[in-house]
Chains A and B, each alone.
Chain A
Amino acid sequence: MLASWFAASFSAAAQPPPQLLPARMQMAFTLGTHIILACLGVAFPLVVLIANWYALRKDDPVALLLAKRWSKVMAVVFAVGAVTGTVLSFEMGLLWPRMLGQFGDVFGFPFAVEGIFFFLEAIFIAIYIYGWKRLSPKVHLWTAVPVVIAGIGGTVSVVAANAWMNHPAGFTMTPSGELTNVDPMAAMFNAGTGYQGLHMLLAAYMVTGFLVASVYAVGWMKGRKDRYHRLGFVIPFAIAAICTPIQIIVGDTAARQVFSKQPTKFAAMELVWKTGPNQPEYIGGILNEETGEVTGAIAIPGLNSILAGFSVNTVVQGLSEVPPEDRPPANVVHLAFDTMVGLGSLLLLLSGWFGFVYWRKRDLPKSKLFWLLAAASGVMAITAMEAGWIVTEVGRQPWIVYGIMRTEEAVTDAEGVWISFGVFVTLYAVVALGTVVVLRGMSRRWRETSDLDDIEDTDVPYGPRHAHEPHESEPG
């Protein structure tokens, strides 16, 4: 009896409801903003933990100062990330009530697990951030460990919910729209959870590592070539550089999973029009969605088939296989995919460059080009990650639950979604501005303060002692 409303909503409307567009835009905008903060919330603790551990092990005051300052930046970012994340849990119901009403007890479970991880993260990050002065150094260092673990667990759980939308599992649907045989574990550990979770986790470490490192790369280029900037660059950059090659392998595996499980998305990513073997790999290019012609692309014969199934004979399903109303906007998906892969490859080269020079010379690269690219690496990593989300989300359209529920069937009937979209854009712009202003204020203050007159920092046993070499400080 309860399902009548939801079952009724299943008869697809002829015209998409007017609130679909603003609802999608609001979701994309708020999620796209939150994901950057979430990456920092998940991965920054590891960067800080490593700096703190190194500082204690080597009795290194510079590393300790970095760890302390980074933890303060982390505090601000985590706070903003916590509230923008809360907005998303409201929006799940405010914008997509019918998906939640229909499938809440199937795919809600990973969110509940994520809630517990987030709880642990919020508790221990508070203990770590506020525990610098009064906890013993060892205990304090250890309080960062649960933060790192909870961040990993939380990422995998919440991505599992998204993976479920791509690979719905853990239920059977009767023709009337009732769900039976609900199995929350099967929903959580669906076919996409493994690769999507790992892909996102590595992306979080790359975004954070490259972003933090790029701040110090800018300082380095401005001539602040001291130990503070060297460490501030090397610790996060090394983390990101280690993750990048692994990410390329995971991403490649992910693409093959998409090929086998979500053929339409794969066809859009690669601009495949007609089903068949020996598909070329298009780099760039625009598909004419009437004629199926691709123009302006660099085409590498057979490579797409080889990448999908290790052979030119691999048959790849084309977009023309599905009716037009069931196709995603292929060009958006394809260009986003190329952006992600292109930037990922560039970051791989940059990581290799850093690794090679460090291996041969035990020193940082001298080339100006390296530092220019390193300074841009944070923005590149963020762009690649956002492009990746466009691939997976736009590529799934018109479905919100792949093959089962259309996005227009899930959307709210509420009026005024355009207004709420406008309000959230304004709100987030203000919050973003505030974040930049306060972080810059902190960095300016730190640059003006040399450690020696930083009384508050020196009068406690566990705080940065005097630096052995004079240095200027750049934002952390």
Chain B
Amino acid sequence: MKQFTIPAGMRDLILGECETKKKIQLEIENTLDKWGYQEVVTPTIEYYKTYNIGFDDMQEEDMYKFFDASGKIIMLRADMTIPIARVVATKFKEAPMPLRFRYCADVFKVHEELSGLQNEISDCGVELIGVDEKSGDLEILATAMEALKVVKDKKCILEIGNVNYFREACRVLNLSEENISVLGNLIGKKSLISLEEYVKTLQLDKDAQQFFLELPWMSGDYRVLEKARKYAWNTTLNTLLDDLLRLYENLSTLGYENINFDLGKISNLNYYTGIIFEAFVEGVGTRIMSGGRYDTLIGKYGRDLPAVGFSIKLDALIDIVPAVEKKKKYIIEYASKDVLKAIMKSNVLREKAIVELKVNESLDDIVVKEED
């Protein structure tokens, strides 16, 4: 017997799963619409070069790559931020700011086989373009909190960091690019044992050593911002903590709860230039939302604009959001000779419910049943 399977990391979504996913998507899109975001659809395939310029250290093996007819390398899109940055820089050259774009699209990333991870996931998100951190950061976080209401009464935490906290501290300490990259990697992954070993090899005073060892632990509620004060060696670092604290106070004033901070959050995407944030929800073992500020990315495609955005991973939510309630449904059974009558009857009923037709040759006349 012939067996047909799907490629590694792919999934079929059927029946209730589709309905639930659609419901989550519509609810999020509805929220984003109310904040003035307009939908953008970009091609599933982009030039490899486009991504390579955006991600400085792109992991080649993580991308699905092909050749086009002329031999250029093309790839399945790995995210939606890069395509939107490209669209903004090339199609909105003179447009007044800000621009608010939203998307819901499948993005592709290759994971090692048999890991149980999905290689195609649906990202639903926004990009707020042309607004700097002074006002844009609070707006995007408030939008994120509204969108996260889709998880209903499940415990959900939004965690905020700022890549500049780590970068500025490294700058003050005069660390080399290589040291910064290794440190960033170890701190971001909270790989604490290797971090301790590595920090010992650097020529740092006690205070600085202690700082890097504590950085992965500077995560939790707003009080970590105070804990971090003792290492705020200059005005830049102090201002950065002030700004995060103000974000917290403002979000609290707006009524949002469960806002945490992680100053040791160092994204593996190096295009972020300011705040970065992630959301976690009870029952899901991975982040369900990620986002951040990327003020230099769009410039790489030709127009210098500050921007900030986030995306929600829809697939992760399917299992925790309650399934869609069953709708009322009629079944009309009919013998073939009555097909016209059956469809006419169904058209009438369809105005208030779902109607499904079913052949039953033993019947003399059509029969309408309500599905239980």
Do they bind each other? no
